[in-house]
Amino acid sequence: MSALNLLRSAAGAALLVNAVPHGVAGVQGTPFPSPFSDPPGVGLSSPAVNVAWSAANLFAGRLLMERSGGTAGERAVAALAATGMALVLAAHFGRVLGGSRRVRR
């Protein structure tokens, strides 16, 4: 269990979690924030952009997860990173899309 494998596991899990909201919004045909919007991460991108971003996240996350060793420690780090990323995304998209504190566009 090397530090590099732990980092790969964490990054891979975070990317896989990030793929979910973008892919769901894209498949639903709903504009959704992406890094390619204006302003990045706050403005809305087209469903096609979100599907492409989701696919890129899935590809990169899967590649990173395959390259890690898959030890119990790496799986634990991946689970923590996935949970952390989900919480960060929930807070960010909640603010951007009309949660308790709406971000100005």
Annotated domain spans of the chain: 3-96
Tell me the pLDDT tens digit for each residue of 47-94: 999 999 999 999 999 999 998 878 999 999 999 999 999 999 999 999
Does the pTM surpass 0.85? The reply is yes
Q: CA-to-CA distance for 103 and 105, rounded, in angstroms?
A: 6
Q: CA-to-CA distance for 92 and 80, rounded, in angstroms?
A: 18
Residues 6 or more apart whose CB falls under 8 angstroms from that of 35 comprise: 41, 53
Question: Residue 105 pLDDT more than 70?
Answer: no
